[in-house]
Amino acid sequence: MKGISFAAPPTPWSKGLAEPRIDPSAYIHSFSNVIGDVYIGPNVLVAPGTSIRADEGSPFHIGESSNIQDGVVIHGLEQGRFKGDDGKDYSVWIGEDASITHMALIHGPAYVGDRCFVGFRSTVFNAKLGEGCIVGMHALVQDVDVPPRRYIPSGAIITSQQQADRLPEVQQEEEHFASHVVGINEALRMGYRCAESSECL
């Protein structure tokens, strides 16, 4: 089953009633909600209990082969944008092969680069994560531009550019774990889609 998707409601700042655009190869679980001007690319998994709401800040972009796991919330403020990789302005940009893991919050304006990993219950707000960043569990990344391939430890509070610039580079074992999670969720996406087809079973 596909998740429930809606047009954005009419508001003083947006009367366009934009609807989600979801690639046919993506899997959106029926217990998730996708609202408003959201693009979901090929082979994306949106797991149960997620809320992707482009009803205030918009648009959102979720790139190919990314996974949005259980309980994730993606929302955005009316004000504030980041440039996406296509040169257009976005409230939330999530690149390709990214993992937004259980109960994380991505609150726009936010940019999450290709192959980033955002750990359980972490928050990214008004921040940019360069390509290949890994955020541990229960971390806060706010008001900063994190260079590519940096590691934000579990529990860290990164709210100044000086802190962001001093973050260590991602190590091989952390990178291996993140790519493993992407692979697991790709298998889950295929499994969910397979379960919908009696031929596959």
175 assigned to some structural domain:
yes
200: in domain: no
Active site residue 175: no
Express each pLDDT in 125-154 by its tens digit.
Answer: 999 999 999 999 999 999 999 999 999 999
Task: Specify the pLDDT at position 13.
Answer: 52
Give the model's pLDDT for residue 1.
Answer: 41
pLDDT at 71: 97
135 located within any domain: yes
Domain extent, residue 65, equals 4-195
What pLDDT, on the 0 to 100 scale, is given for residue 186? Answer: 83
| Tens digits of pLDDT across the chain (201 residues) | 455 556 666 665 565 668 899 999 999 999 999 999 999 999 999 999 999 999 999 999 999 999 999 999 999 999 999 999 999 999 999 999 999 999 999 999 999 999 999 999 999 999 999 999 999 999 999 999 999 999 999 999 999 999 999 999 999 988 888 888 888 888 888 888 788 776 665
Q: What is the CATH number of the domain that holds 179?
A: 2.160.10.10
Q: Is residue 201 part of a domain?
A: no
> Pick the catalytic residue: 19, 56, 175, 196?
56
Question: In this structure, is residue 53 part of a structural domain?
Answer: yes
Q: What is the pTM of this model?
A: 0.90
Which value, in Å, is the radius of gyration of the alpha carbons in the chain? 16
Could you tell me which residues come within 8 angstroms of residue 92 by beta carbon, excluding any fewer than 6 positions away?
A: 54, 57, 60, 61, 74, 75, 76, 106, 108, 109, 110, 111, 112
User: Does residue 80 sit within a domain?
Assistant: yes
Q: Is 189 part of a structural domain of the chain?
A: yes
Query: From residue 66, how far is each of 17, 20, 50, 100, 117 by CA, in Å?
Result: 26, 17, 14, 8, 10
In the chain, how many domains are there? 1
Partners of residue 90 on adjacent β-strands: 82
Residue 172 lies in a domain: yes
